[in-house]
A and B are shown apart, each in its own frame.
Chain A
Amino acid sequence: MPAVELRTTVLSQETNGTSPNPLPSLLHTPAGLAIMEIQGKIHGPPQDLATEDPEQSPAVHPIGRLEFPLYNPQEANEGKWMKKVYLYVGRHQRLTGEVKKLAKPMAVLRKVDENDLGSEGEEALEIVDVVKFRLLFSARPEPVGE
């Protein structure tokens, strides 16, 4: 079988210039991707919403917000702030997590668009981004009242 080439893209092209990365600088990547890991599931709106509203596809649904309560600009690249991250889901739930460095960085792969393939028509994958940290929420959700 033919081998599949694994390409590296010019990662900066993926970044949307009009949308600066809102995460702490430690979590910034060239293409603006991040890994968020939750010990559980996010129950959101039904999947078929997308088909009911074709004009607004892909549908974007709010989940909540991230907060970094201990963030200290003086310790942007490490420090205690990494130990506490809040993920608010909806109005009444909060997950407490942390920013963790990945033991092995992760490459985000996707299939190369057919238009970008050469005349040979070979299959190819490309590395969209390299992610070295993740947001890990492994504790039970807490109730909050606002």
Chain B
Amino acid sequence: MSTASSSSQPLTFPPVPVSSTLAHQSLRLLELPPELLDEVETQIKNPSKRRKLWLKSSVDIAPSTLAQGQRLLQKGFSGGGTTSVRDAEGKEGFLHLCTDDKIWAVKQVSTSNSVYITQTSDSSHGPRANDKGRDEGGDGDTSMAGVDEDGDEATLAKAAGSSTRGGGITTRAQVRNVLELIKVEPDEREIERRVHELTPLYHDVDDDVDPLDRSRMGSGTRSNGAEGVSPRNVLDNIPAPTRLIRDVMRKSCVFQLPQPTAPKGEEDKKMVYLPTPTLLLRRWKDFLQQCTISGVKLEKNDHVLRGNSLRAVLDGLVETEESDVGRALALNVTLAILRRLTDEVADDGRDPHTCDDPSLLDMDLSSPDSISEDQLVNTKLKFNPSLSRDVVGQWLLSSYARKRSLVPNSSADPSPAQGGLVLRVDEFISEWRHLLPDSWAMNCDMAGPVSASVDGVSVARDDQGVQVLRFASPSSGVAGSLAKDAQAQSQSQKKRKWHEKFGAQRTAPAVKR
């Protein structure tokens, strides 16, 4: 049997045999926008120790939807190209691809064409395969099928013969859905809301004992038990760029503590907590006092705190605590405050914000054992006096707002008879100044903390013409239905509102900066 070639011209490029490999691999196609392509190619050439690309689901925290995003990925890969994957839109949460700085929503788009992923292969055709092919001829005219098969073989043999290279290409997967990426602009307020939802609030006994809160003296709770949340949990459950989540945690003064229930043999697992403004103020006072004791002056050296001084202050703070929990708390909350109020000064041209090396202020290094001596000594932290002043003022204002919200039966318009609930502006400013080094306190002004507050704090004049701070009561406007609320519901509502107030106040400094 002879098959003359219909092409009379010599081929300048040898033919490439094409075959199909059954038992397809599970492969997916993901389109790469230019920024992501740059990041991927950089990662390929210079692999980084830190893992940078993440796929996260944006499902709500409801238990029934927790595994949907995971199932989407599972379904996408379990059966290879032959499995049809349900579209991610609709009931299911969106999948997001997150890098350090950017985030995309992942969308599945069906391909109407047949899309094959091919791979180079050694295309060898043994006689057994040929026999199998011949056996299939039973479905039709036997002699004609046989002729076709022989023809194919001859064609392939001819192609192989004329090729100066070995092998060909074979299909490894058929793709029916392509993953497209839609750029999403992260919403910092939404990220902050999620961080505050996920991170438990730390209550310690001292925090709940308060002159204005005597009725709840016996009901303080610790939330660092089985409900602990790890830093990884927070990062995993918020579809946002990694750096932005970390920045929100830093601005909220999120801190870590070792889990107390961990067995001694195991490595300590770190849990993250949100501090109360009262806790922050107490730690800040202790820090300033320890600076005085250690002879450290924050106002000198262009507000730079050097490693040696920092070491002395931290050691002093830890020594004053009697328990392991107290020592861990003192160290970690203080470090969280320093993360919030300072920037790390770069040495030798090293930029702390972009290099991958861990920095002292990285949250993962907040236990004494993990801070190396060289790293601590070489650290330089530069305080921002105006930022520090405003942040401390906000903590103080939030502390008063929290006390007001925890007092039962509070009214929107306190009368002079309730002198303890009225706060004069000059008294507030005086207390605020005492929380700051002298040179930082010169420009204390109510505009900063009040404008940063979104929970109804305003400056007004009382009957004698004295400026006072007026706090809107959480229950104002619903006084008629207040009596109907159950105690637990009322407490839960107040706590939730406070949580939102506290979180919202921390956004403003970033806007100002």
Contact = CB atoms under 8 A, between A and B. Distances in A.
A130 B27 contact: no
A20 B16 contact: no
A38 B113 contact: yes
A106 B32 contact: yes
A36 B59 contact: no
B3 interface: yes
Contact of B121 (A45, A60, A123, A128): A60
Contacts of B28: 108-110
**Max chain A Cβ within 10 angstroms of own Cβ: one of B4, B129, B166, B179:** B129
B352 to A, nearest CB: 25
Contacts of A121: none
B264 interface: no
Contacts of A128: 27
Contacts, number: 254
A3 B55 contact: yes
A99 B117 CA distance: 15
Contact of A58 (B18, B21, B54): B21
Contacts of A58: 21-23
A34 B166 CA distance: 17
B22 A62 contact: no
B20 interface: yes
Interface stretch (B69-77, B250-258, B301-309, B401-409): B69-77
Interface in A27-63: 31-42, 44-47, 49-50, 52-53, 56-63
B132 A53 contact: yes
Contact of B59 (A1, A4, A56, A146): A1
A28 B107 CA distance: 28
A5 B50 CA distance: 11
Contacts of A50: 22-23
A36 B168 CA distance: 14
Q: How large is the interface on A (under 10, 10 to 19, 20 to 34, 35 or more residues)?
A: 35 or more
B164 to A, nearest CB: 10
Contacts of B41: 130
A47 to B, nearest CB: 7
A58 B22 CA distance: 6
Contacts of B70: 1-2, 4, 123
Interface in B139-186: 148, 151-152, 155-156, 159, 163, 165-172, 178-179
B117 A23 contact: no
Given A5-B51, A34-B169, A87 B31 contact: no
B166 A19 contact: yes
Interface in A1-34: 1-8, 10-11, 15-16, 18-24, 31-34
Interface string A95-136: 000000010111111110000000000010101101000000
Interface in B48-83: 51, 53-57, 59, 66-67, 69-70, 73, 77
B32 A37 contact: no
Given A19-B120, A108-B28, A130-B32, A123 B73 contact: yes
Contacts of B51: 5, 7
B364 interface: no
Contact of A108 (B29, B59, B126): B29
Interface in B391-415: none
B129 A91 contact: no
A46 to B, nearest CB: 8
A32 B18 contact: no
Given A1-B69, A35-B115, A123-B73, 7 more contacts: A3-B56, A23-B16, A36-B118, A56-B128, A58-B23, A64-B17, A106-B32
26 contacts: A1-B237, A3-B55, A3-B236, A4-B73, A16-B122, A20-B166, A34-B169, A35-B115, A36-B116, A37-B111, A38-B116, A39-B113, A39-B114, A45-B136, A49-B22, A63-B171, A65-B155, A67-B16, A73-B12, A104-B33, A105-B32, A106-B32, A106-B178, A108-B117, A145-B6, A146-B4
